[in-house]
Each structure stands twice: as C-alpha cells, then as structure tokens.
Structure 1
C-alpha cells in the first residue's frame, strides 16, 4: 500500500496504483487559467496545460479571478451559508437567471422550476424521482377512472340497461378478470430510456442509466430499470417503445353492452439524453434523431430529461448544446461549470407544465441551495452572459481552432487517428484500436483497456499536456479546456499529439514508455 509523507494512503489505493503505473500520480499545487503546476525534484514549479478541465467543470478556467474575488467577498461578508427553511435570495436569483437564458435560447417563455443539488449525479437522481412522481400520479388517475367506469358498468348491468360481454355470466367475474389483469401490471417498476454510450452518474439510480456495464452491472438489483436505445439509429426508439408498451383493461357501456377496452399504461418514466455524450466518447446526437426522440416521447407522454452536465454552460458555443440540434427538454440537468470551478452545485430544471409542488417536501438535501454555492453560480451565469454572450462566441472560435488542428492531425495520421468529434470546447480524438498491435506492450495495455491512460501519462511527462480518455471509450482522448485557451496552448497540444501519433504509427513502444 502506498504512503503519502508519513501516512498510509487509505484514499482509493487501487486508483493511486493505476495512476503510478501510467505516470499520472502527480500532486498539483497551484492552478490558474488552463495551467496547473507541480513541483519537480528541485522544488521548482513545472507548468502543465490542462485539457481535462475538471471533466468539463472549468469553462472559465482554474481560479478565475472574478469568481475567486466574488467568493472571497462572500466569505469575508460572513454570509449565512447554511440557512435551511428560509428565503434563499441567491438561489432565487440563479433560478431566474437560468430561466432568462434558457427562454432566450429556446425561444419559449414557459418557465422552469429549479431544484438545487450538489453534484450532477444528484441532479439526475432528482430528475428520476420527479419523473416517477409524475408517472405515479398518472397511474393513480388512470386507475381511478377505470374503477369509476367499472362501477358505472356494474350499475348499468344491475339496472338491466346493459348486457355482459360474451364469455361472462356474472358481473363479478368480469370485474375480477379486469382487476387481475391490471394488478399484474401495476406492480411492475417503470422503465427508463437512455442511449447506448450514455453516462448519467454513479449513484444508485443514475448508474442504472449509465450504459457502461462495468459501472452498472454490480448494482443492477438496486434501482431503476433501463432500456438502452441504439445511438442515432433511425426507427430504433419507435421499435423499443412498441415492444415495451402495455395496457390496463377498463370497461365502457356502449349501445347497451359492456365492452372491455384497453387503456395505455405509462410504462416509461423518462428518456435521458446527453446531446453530446461525454464519457461515451464525445458522440453527438444528430438533429434528425433529436426530432425523432421528441416525436416518439410526445406520442406516449414520456418526459425528456436533457443531461447538460458536461455539454451545457456554454461549452459548445451555446448555453445548451441541445438547443443547437432543436432538442427541447421537459427537464434539464446542469452542474460542473455552474460552480465556476470553486463551488459544488447542480440544478434540475423542470418545465412548469410538468412540475409537482409536493416534490419540494419529499425531496431535499442539507447542502443544496446553500448561500455560498448559489451566489457563486449566479456570478458564473453573469460572466457567461456578459458583453452580449462574448464567452459563447469565444468558445465557438477557440473550439473551431482546436478542432481544425485535431482534424489536420487526423488527415496526417489516418492509420492512427480514427475520428475527431464534438463541438466548441468539448472535443474528442479517437485513436485506432491497438489490440492487435505487433508491439507487445501496446497490445497488452490496449486489451486491458488502459492504453489511453498510458498515453495520457506520456503526454504529461514528455509534453506537459494533461488529458485523459473518456470513461467508457478508452480509445478516445477528451479535450475540454477553458475559454481562455491560447494559440500557444493549442500548439503545445499539437506538438504532443504529433509525437504520440508518430510513436503509434511506428509502433515504437519504447519511446512511449521512456
């Protein structure tokens, strides 16, 4: 077991071992903008360009001076950070600002209610809970209607005004047939839809909506049941919905006869969608598939949860990546950059027509909506919106420059680079699989799904560039720097990636591990 100073390292020792193996076990002591610093053996600071960007949480950079000054001012003012069951002015302001931005971007004035949380996965959990609260209310209303219709039919038969359906001699037999069929269906748990390649967190429910089996399978018995929809595949969603549909039985009196009718049962709790998949490999939902999702979900009354935890907050050149493909959500989840790199804060936004006010009483968190993180979030939104959205324009320009460089490398090394994907400052470079490499170490690490981390170690050690593969697509390197990205930082990444591509092209494993 490794040690830190004189202390045994009990914090994720297996992770530390993997970091050491890949050459990534570096302790950073300072960070600003896109640069992080560690100390070399002589105690001198070594700068590293950070393209990991806190997994998308640093759109405004490390220790942004305006956010930092605001945070210090809040603490110096001794604001009440934890004041549960009171008026939270900063949270109210943040919710109002979010509505202002989203309504402008969507071109719709329907408001969204805000449910604050601490992390992205918690916001997803809140979305699942709220969606199930809505579905349960629909089920309750539906069963109430069926019960009333059964009693109306019973009265009509008793009064001699209606006859029973063929095969039933007594009304009680008919009522029991309906009740038994419905009882079997009513105890079934809801199904949630998500895309293949999705990542929605690792908490009890959210992990079941995360497609990666390594994360999901050990906990499959605990929570939400998911059905995964093939990514960007026309017709696949409609087929899954048709296969999953179910009906309750009800009765109607028509033309002097009692008839058995089917009533659509709300099987699906919600459809969770990342407009650009982060951990799945930087995969973009197409506008055509987004339209199919909206149409299919509207047809069955299934709400859409748009997960903008990584792709939102301006990272793609728009506040919501989903707005660029015309995907309208009933729910939105935001986190990561909402905290400005300083605060841990997330939010679930629920469309007014979907919102249930009783949710506020049955769902809560000690640290959600606290005075500090809410005030920081509001300042972040103000900075994003400043100068008529200058940050969004800069993200688009800087992202375009970075993507052009990556595409140039792909053209130069077609046998090494498989694809370049993403928008704005959420980009991915997919490398060809090395599982059949003639170089033993490359082959073995690729088959163990850790070559991406070894490559990251090479880029860090040799080129002072910090990046990592996406969690569920080990051959895809992610690039999520801040909007402060400079041409010099892009050139440093280009130099490192060119060296990497040359090594993989030549199968020079010694150079990679030197």
Structure 2
C-alpha cells in the first residue's frame, strides 16, 4: 500500500499563487507527492486513482518496480556520455525497439516534439536527395485537429488557435486537410509532397478514431505517390490501444513512426523515430543530433519498457479492459449522460452533454473531489487513459464515480 507522506510540503493552492513558475499550464487543484501503480497521494494525504497516466507516459503505472530497478542500476554505472562517444546500451536499445515495432532503424531523441521534428527533417531531406524534389519546395500533408507538440515548426502545422496564436511567423511547407478524409489528402498531394503525417488516433483532440479504411488508404496513396507515411504514435503507441502500435489495428506500417511518452516509463523523457533504414540513413553525422538523445539512463529504462511489452500481456490486458470501458461508455451515452464517447483500447474521449450546462473542466473538478484524476481537453471533452496495469475493479471504481458525477450534473440541470 502506498504510504502517506510525512507532512505536506506545500499548500494545495501553491500552483495558483504568484510564483517563479511560468503559468503555461492550468492544472487541477492537486499537488501530488507520491505514487505507486495506479494510485497517487497529494501533499494533504489524499489518495487519488490516476486515470490520466501522464497522457500515456505512465502506461505502466507510477514507479513500476522493473523500471525503477533498471533506472537505479544504471544510476550506479553511468548516465550520460553524449553522442561524442558510444555506450554499451545504445545499440541494444535500438535493436530492441525496432524488433518490437517491426522496423529497421532507430534515431533516439528526448521529447515527443523532438521526435516529430526529427521525422519532418528526415522526410524533407529524403525528398530532396532521393525523390528529387527541388530544394526548399518540399511539402508535407497534415491533419486538422492534430497535436504533434508545441515547437515553432509543430504549431506551424496546427489548426489550434490557442497553440498558434502570437507565435508567428510560421514554418512553411505544410498543407492542412480534414482528419479522416482520404480524398482531401489525395487532392493535397502533388510532386512536391514528401510525406503525409498523421496520428493513427488523435489524442489531444479527444481520442478521435478515424474510419477503419483511413490508414490503409493513406498507405496505398503514399506508396503510389512516392511519399512517406509518417505516423505519430507518441500518445497512441506502446500498448495504449490494445496493440503495440495503434497502426497494428489497421494492419499498416508507417515509413517513419514517432515514439515517446511511454518509452520513458514515466521516469524520464525518452523518444525516438523508427522506420525505414533508407529514409533515416539520409541523416548523416552533423545533420541532426541531441546531447541527451539515447543517453545511458534513457536506454536502460527504454530496454526495460521493451521487456514489459514484448510478451504482449499488457497489450492484451488493455484490449480486454478496453471492452469493459467501451461497454460502460456506450451505456452512459445511451442514457443521455454523455453527448458522445469514443474508445480504442484502454483510452476514451468523453464529450459532456451540452444540455447539462457544464464544462469538461467542471466535471473533472468534481471527479477530483471524489478521488479520480482525469483532465479535460478543448473545453467539452474528458480523456480517460489509465495505466495499462490498472485493475478491473479500479477501472470500474473510476467509471462508477464518473456515472455518479454525471447523474448529479443531470439532476442539477433539471432543477
């Protein structure tokens, strides 16, 4: 059982008071002090069931013993060499992740946004050197509602005014089309197109699942157009959808795939681009790099993550619990307590009923007051992404509590 902290280290409202911390997030009123598995404790000693799991960075729960052991063992050896020198875990890490994902080559980075930036650079360089696109004219087709990070280049392909506003001028070279619309992608592709970049499931937009034929059609379109299919699996990958990668559900493989979040086991930022050897090989010494990318500690944790996923038990668990999740969400929609609900594996986007006069934020705050941690997105949607290790009982505890909250909101709206 997770022990309570000895004493509060700061008041729960500390993050709201003027401080040295920049205010670029709007967190819920919880200051977490400790965590184990699917549960955390705040500085006031309150226990919460974590149903967000660090936006899938904590797919294996808080402080998974195998991941903590790997990190501790590596801390006693070496943590960083920089890429000026090799270390003994770098090639084994690359071999393990490419084996797990059915790919040929890996380029290590740190954050998800860095991984997508790397994929964009590789696609452009491949387009110039291999496809023969005139220098400076490469285009990449991307999707409305996508979230690939908040760097300058990433927001340049974003359709979210909050992410984009006030940060121009924007990086050119992107053509934005509706998500899930293959015809729109086809219309945007021409001889300058080096890649089509999409999420197999749009996470930040509220777990938006495309039509079943979307990814296979994009695969065929990209092959015919001699363009790369780049799939961003930073949130959807590594077990979340009941498969190792979300694209496995569609039976396709991207030419480049970005990984992150869960690859670091919730211990440190670890990301990578995996994919075709001939594409990643266009990045030669001096053209791209990272001091911390592929560091010894990251590789030790990443190898332990692969060890957890290779047997397939966690993916199967996410698929099984995902059926239970889907049944409960469908029931809430049928009873009019939710406007809509989308699930894939152990992942759900829940749209609050606008007729109840509540927001996603308000519903999340009520859930927090009852010991359940979730977070809203885009005002009216709640995301559920509990650890893949959550028990069935705890999952239903969260859904029972959600049902109670939604009933209360419905009752208040009728008064």
Contact kept in structure 1, 2:148 and 2:154, CA below 8 Å: yes
| Aligned match for 1:459, one of 363, 367, 370 | 367
- Please say if 1:39 is aligned against 2:43: yes
Cα pair 1:287 1:326 within 8 Å, conserved: no
| 1:101 alignment partner, SS class | helix
Greater mean alpha carbon deviation, residues 212-221 or residues 282-291: 212-221
Q: Which has the higher helix share?
A: 1
User: Structure 2, unaligned stretches of length 5 or more?
Assistant: 1-11
Post-superposition Cα deviations, 1:420-444, rounded to whole Å, max 9, x if no partner, equal 212111221122335xx6x6xx4xx
Correspondence for 1:113 among 100, 105, 116 = 105
**Once the 2 structures are TM-superposed, how far is the Cα of residue 203 of structure 1 from its aligned partner?**
0.7
Q: Which has the larger radius of gyration?
A: 1
CA distance in 1, matches of 2:250, 2:264: 26
After the TM superposition, which segments of 4 or more aligned residues of structure 1 sit over 6 Å from their partners?
Answer: none
Whether 2:50 is the aligned partner of 1:50: answer: yes
Contact 1:88/1:369 (<8 A) preserved: no
User: 1:486 is matched with which residue: 377, 382, 391?
Assistant: 391
Give the superposition deviation at 1:14. Answer: 6.4
**Gap regions ≥5 residues in structure 1:** 104-110, 143-185, 246-265, 443-450
Is the 1:130–1:359 Cα contact (8 Å) retained in structure 2?
no
Structure 2: distance between partners of 1:4 and 1:497: 27
Aligned residue in 2 for 1:196:
144
| TM-score normalised by L of structure 1 | 0.73
Give the deviation of 1:240 after TM superposition: 2.5
**Cα distance in 2 for residues equivalent to 1:509 and 1:348:** 51
Relative to structure 1, is the Cα distance of residues 187 and 221 closer, same or farther in structure 2, using a 3 angstrom cutoff?
A: farther
1:232 and 2:153 matched: no
State the 1:295 CA deviation.
2.0
1: CA distance, partners of 2:20 / 2:238:
35
1:381-460 to structure 2, matched below 5 A, reads 381-385=306-310, 388-412=311-335, 414=336, 416-434=337-355, 442=358, 451-460=359-368
Say if 1:201 and 1:210, in contact at 8 Å, map to a contact too: no
Distance (whole Å) between structure 1 residues aligned to residue 332 and residue 85 of structure 2: 55
Q: CA deviation at 1:191?
A: 2.3
Query: Secondary structure of the equivalent of 1:227?
Result: strand
Q: By how many angstroms is 1:389 displaced? A: 1.6
Matched position secondary structure for 1:344: coil
2:154 is aligned to 206
The residue aligned with 1:368 is 293
C-alpha spacing 1:408/1:509, structure 2 compared with 1 (3 Å): closer
SS of corresponding position for 2:60: coil
Aligned residues: 403
Q: What aligned pairs does 1:463-482 form with structure 2 within 5 A after superposition? A: 463-470=370-377, 473-482=378-387
Alpha-carbon contact 2:122-2:283 (below 8 Å) kept: no
1:263-274 to structure 2, matched below 5 A, reads 266-274=191-199
* Residues 460/295 of structure 1: CA separation in 2 closer, same or farther (3 Å cut): same
For the pair 1:503 / 2:411, whether they are aligned, the reply is no
* Greater displacement, 424-433 / 368-377: 424-433
1:127 counterpart = 2:35: no
Aligned mate of 1:12, from 19, 22, 38 = 22
Alignment counterpart, residue 30 of structure 1, candidates 11, 31, 34: 34
CA distance in 1, matches of 2:79, 2:40: 32
Using the size of structure 2 for normalisation, the TM-score is: 0.90
